[in-house]
Amino acid sequence: MSEILPIIVAKYNYWLYIILMMIGLYAMISKNNLIKKLVGMNIFQTSIILFYVSIGYKTNATIPIIENAHGDSHSPHELIIHAADYINPLPHVLMLTAIVVSVATFGVALALAVKIYQRYQTLEEDEIRMRLTEE
């Protein structure tokens, strides 16, 4: 047990993402209000985005802008590029795209919720389901 505790403490951010993900999943599954389900979906998506951004982080690395890449240096040893010294920007760029998609999905879902409320005068799933069976 004493060997496991330092590993758990060292990866505390992953545990926070898992907790956030479970909160979002719980809200999507257990709540009857459509807005609460949408907020749960947004929390779930945010936890996944945070997870991927944390995976893309690298300790003691720099941004991928290479100085003297075109032979401006006179020493051939300065032209050697060590890829391990740079952060991979791809996970961060993909998560920027995921944030845009998340915001767009949330906006469309809220617009649909407004339309549902205008038609059925409620956002509770059970009441909407009862009114659909009456029609």
**pLDDT for the residue numbered 87:** 86
Do the beta carbons of residue 53 and residue 95 sit within 8 Å? yes
65/87 Cα distance (integer angstroms) = 10
Do the beta carbons of residue 59 and residue 85 sit within 8 Å? no
Tokens 């993909």 locate to 94
Taking 60 as the threshold, does the pLDDT of residue 86 lie above it?
Answer: yes
pLDDT bin (cut points 50, 70, 90) of residue 77 is low
Give the mean model confidence (pLDDT) for residues 13-33: 96
Give the mean model confidence (pLDDT) for residues 55-77: 71
Domains identified in the chain and CATH numbers:
4-60+85-134 (1.10.287.3510)
46/101 Cα distance (integer angstroms) = 11
Q: Kindly give, in sequence order, each residue whose CB lies less than 8 Å from that of residue 17, ignoring residues fewer than 6 positions away.
A: 47, 48, 50, 51, 54
pTM metric for this prediction? 0.80
**pLDDT for the residue numbered 41:** 96
Give the mean model confidence (pLDDT) for residues 99-123: 96
Q: Which amino acid is at 116?
A: I
What whole-number percentage of the chain has pLDDT above 70? 90
**pLDDT for the residue numbered 39:** 97
